[in-house]
A = this chain, B = another copy of it.
Amino acid sequence: MAMNLPSTHPLLHAGTASAPLIQAYRGKRPTRQPVWFMRQAGRSLPEYRSLRATSTMLDACLTPNLAAEITMQPVRRHKVDAAIFFSDIVLPLKVAGIDVDIQPGVGPVMGRAIRTADDVAALPELEPEALAPIAEAIGICVAELGATPLIGFAGAPFTVASYLVEGRPSRDHLVTRALMHGDPQTFAKLLAWVARTTTTFLNVQIEAGASAVQLFDSWAGMLNPDDYRRHVMEHSASVFAAVAHYGVPRVHFGTKTSEILVDLLACGADVIGVDDRISLATAIERLGADVVVQGNLDPARLFTDWETLASHIDEVRDAGKRAKAHVMNLGHGVPPDTDPEVLTRVVAHIHGESV
């Protein structure tokens, strides 16, 4: 398959510059509060479930028309202010040649766990050309999206490394943390490798037209903050630094990160995603009022009556006014059982439309 990456050009993301999402990410207060949902593309949508019936998760991510269609579904349905590219944080590992599969109901499972200095030394470098299907899918999305921005994303070094080390999803990440303490040199080399791979994944998405990027550190909140600062932070910071020259807004997010919000920001992020395990008011207090925040809606409220949900949205919106700007989002991914009509109503409510 021929590879034809769009060149970096100052006008590449100009078409979305006045979109409410990009305005808010840049610290301005757009007339309409922007909203999108983590995992908006995926399991909560019947149109997604019928599309995905015949392909594995990673095959779907690598089929440009399919990945693009899945990315677009929630934008068409919910009228959210951004598309988030449909992919997976382990996709770059797969493309780099690592034996990884996403098992339904389990998560990412490695053919072989990466635990020694030799394992790390043997990891293949990810070539941007191998991500051609990703660039192609994003090109399709961007053409359809017009002035609506597409958000690219990647997994942060610690989170991706923990899948490599554990070999499968883990609740306690004991093997990863034992490697971190018992062999910090190998651990650092592994995170540096993931940081390079993640950077390549983000580069390709930005050059293909992503107007913003989000780094997901799903498991950073499992760490003692001292360990995060000592062993992890520099690697996430290197990813943010490596994509800084594109000038696209960079979001940093992880769940259960209330203790390290300031550190997530210090990695070089422009926007901090706040989960629902802390109040947005407290998060802004810790981060400072000069910061742009995203998120904080409680996914559990999606399963209550509308009045309970609407008053929660209003509370979060009011709290967000203390920040420089606030992009509405959930504090976690859309739960698979969510009624999509509720999400559509949430978007309309945030956009101030009668519902």
Chain A residues engaging chain B, CB cutoff 8 angstroms: 172-178, 180-182, 222-226, 256, 258-259, 276-279, 282, 298-305, 308, 312, 332, 335, 337
Contact = CB atoms under 8 A, between A and B. Distances in A.
* Assembly stoichiometry (copies): 2
| Secondary structure call for the A interface | helix
Contact of A308 (B174, B181, B308): B181
Contact of A172 (B180, B279, B335): B335
B182 A303 contact: yes
Contact of A223 (B177, B182, B277): B277
Contact of A335 (B174, B180, B258, B299): B174
A181 to B, nearest CB: 5
B259 A301 contact: no
Contacts of A301: 178, 181
Contact of A174 (B258, B278, B300): B300
A276 B228 CA distance: 13
Contact of A224 (B178, B225, B226, B298): B298
Nearest to A307: B182
Contact of A303 (B174, B222, B298, B304): B174
Contacts of A225: 278-279, 282
A158 to B, nearest CB: 14
Q: Which 9 pairs of residues, A with B, have the shortest CB-CB distance? A: A177-B300, A182-B304, A178-B303, A174-B300, A178-B300, A181-B304, A178-B304, A182-B308, A224-B277
